[in-house]
Amino acid sequence: MKFDRAIVGILKQAILKTPQVIHAVVGPRQVGKTTAVRQVCAVLGWKTHWAAADTPFPPGAEWIESHWAVAIAAATSKKMPVLIVFDEIQKVRGWSEVLKRLWDEACAHELPIRVVILGSSALLVQSGLSESLSGRFFLHRCMHWDWTECQQAFGWSLRDWLYFGGYPGGARFSDDEGVWRQYISDSMIETVLTRDVLQLAPVTKPVLMRHLFGLAAQYPAQMLSYNKMLGQLQDAGNTTTLAHYLKLLQAAFLLSGLELYSAGQLRQRGSSPKLVFWNNALIHAQSGLTRAMTESDLAWQGRIVENAVGVHLLNHLIGAEWAVSYWRSGNMEMDYVVQHGQRTYGIEVKSGKPGKCSGCDAFRARYPKATVLIVGSSGISLETFFGQKPQDLLS
């Protein structure tokens, strides 16, 4: 299958227009970061040196120096731009310091070298960039596939995407749900938990983190208090541990615990997190439910649609200027709250029959300057909402 995601054109133009910076591509595993960069290399037609650090044992800084020397030699002899790509660079010990030194030397000698780095752990990559490479990089985010991409690449309907999610590698197994679930569980979930999350920070109870992830799959797009989590998890420790593990899962683009929006302030300490998976495939791979079973359960389908709306928001509204949360006061709820600068948007998801939205009225009364949108029944159709970028809709 030949399919170019939007990031291919964006990255190509960025490399051509801003050669004075290191281009960093971050995002979840298995969404096509490496493929996209290879497509950019093919389009540019330059000499390319590719180095992948995705090895069982983390290499040291000398690994970067060795590959850099090869690229420099090619740049010197060919007298033309040479593109060097470091894949999974967060695995290299001390990568940011040595890359800073080598990059500054190349810039000082005006060598025709361009650099792209990739990483599946945005937290580790961005930490290294901010610590040592401040002012020397531009960040590109390659996120989970949305419905329009799956529709164009695989011919999927919206119902297909709501169940199978947006992992392109899983599309080949979508005709056999059992095999598909095994693929997502083994190749996606287990790999990310083992090779990414456990490397973000010390995890004293890895089994607990796995159980937390499995528990969350039973409550997609729902508020779940930390006390309820403690009651359903063995050896759960305390709420601080669970909150920390949710942050690690979010950094790996797996699961977010959205916080309560109140009085214009996003963070509400002690509030129950709203659990949103960054890809619907992560839910159905763990549920054990067939597609027919999920689509016949209207309550479950409503949660899946609501989670997909959260997926769409989280994967597109990225950067410091956007914030996604939820609102609740007593029995009144607003499914999602989006902040963009001084503007606030309330988004209510209605996947069933049209009805009165008392939560919308309560939210509007509390925040009269906010814009309230209904997605689904009696509002913006699901096809329209998922068929465009949410920032275009909100603008």
Looking at the fold, whether 244 and 329 belong to one and the same domain comes out as yes
Mean pLDDT, range 274-281, rounded to an integer: 97
- 70 and 205 fall within a common domain: no
Q: What is the mean pLDDT of residues 135-152?
A: 93
Does 354 have pLDDT greater than 60?
Answer: yes
When pLDDT is averaged across residues 73-79 and rounded to a whole number, the result is: 75
In tens, the pLDDT along 313-351 reads 999 998 889 999 999 999 999 999 999 989 999 999 998
3-class SS at 113? strand
Name the least confident of 89-98, 266-275, 292-301: 266-275
Integer Cα distance of 17 and 52 in angstroms:
25
Rg (CA), the chain: 22
Examine the fold and report which residue of 141, 176, 197 is the final residue of a domain before the chain moves on. Answer: 141
pLDDT at residue number 67: 94
304/329 same-domain check:
yes
Three-state DSSP string of 319-369? CCCEEEEEEEECCEEEEEEEEECCEEEEEEEECCCCCCCHHHHHHHHHCCC
Q: Which residues contact 271 (CB under 8 A, 6 or more apart)?
A: 259, 260
**C-alpha closest to that of 136 among 103, 112, 90, 110:** 103
171 and 243 co-located in one domain: yes
pLDDT score, position 155: 95
Using the predicted structure, report yes or no on whether residue 234 has a pLDDT greater than 90.
Answer: no
Residue 1 within any structural domain of the chain: no
Residue 95: how many other CB atoms lie within 10 Å: 26
Over residues 357-368, the mean pLDDT reads 90
Cα angle 186, 189, 190 (rounded to 5 degrees) comes to 55
Q: Is the pLDDT of residue 269 over 60?
A: no
CA torsion through residues 363, 364, 365, 369, sign: positive
d(CA 278, CA 298): 21
Query: CA 17, CA 239: separation in Å to the nearest integer?
Result: 47
The span from the CA of 42 to the CA of 244, in Å, is: 41
Question: Could you tell me the pTM of the whole model?
Answer: 0.90
CATH of the domain at 14: 3.40.50.300
Instruction: Write the DSSP string, 126-185.
Output: HHHHHHH-TTSEEEEE-----HHHHHHHH---HHHHHHHTT-GGGGGGTTSHHHHHHHII
Q: Are 305 and 55 in contact (CB under 8 A)?
A: no
By 3-state DSSP, what share of the chain in percent is helix, strand and coil, each rounded to 5?
50, 20, 30
CB 113 within 8 A of CB 81: yes
What whole-number distance in Å separates Cα of residue 171 and Cα of residue 120? Answer: 21
In a domain, 151, yes or no: no
Q: Are 51 and 124 in the same domain?
A: yes
Structural domain boundaries enclosing 17: 6-141
On the question of pLDDT at 9 being above 90, the answer is: yes
Tokens of 192: 């990310």
Tell me: pLDDT of 288 over 90: no
Q: What is the DSSP letter of 214?
A: H
pLDDT grade for 265, boundaries at 50, 70 and 90: low
- Identify any residues that bridge with 114 across adjacent strands, giving them in sequence order: 83
Among candidate residues 141, 176, 203, the one where a domain is terminated = 141
- Please tell me the total count of domains within the chain: 2
Residue 121's pLDDT band (cuts 50, 70, 90): low
Length of the chain measured in residues: 395
- For β-strands 113-119 and 222-223, DSSP reports them as unpaired
- Are 177 and 303 part of one and the same domain? yes
Give yes or no: residues 89 and 184 share one domain. Answer: no
Compute the average pLDDT of residues 379-395.
93
Mean pLDDT of the chain: 89
pLDDT score recorded for residue 122: 63
Q: How confident is the model at residue 124 (pLDDT cuts 50, 70, 90)?
A: low
Per-residue pLDDT tens over the stretch 299-316:
999 999 999 999 999 999
DSSP state of 380: B
**For residue range 182-206, what is the model confidence (pLDDT) as tens digits?**
999 999 999 888 877 876 677 888 8
User: In the chain, at which residue ranges do the beta strands (DSSP E only) sit?
Assistant: 22-26, 47-52, 82-87, 113-119, 137-141, 222-223, 255-258, 274-277, 322-329, 332-340, 343-350, 371-376
Is pLDDT at 129 greater than 90 in this prediction? no
Q: Would the pLDDT of 236 be above 90?
A: no
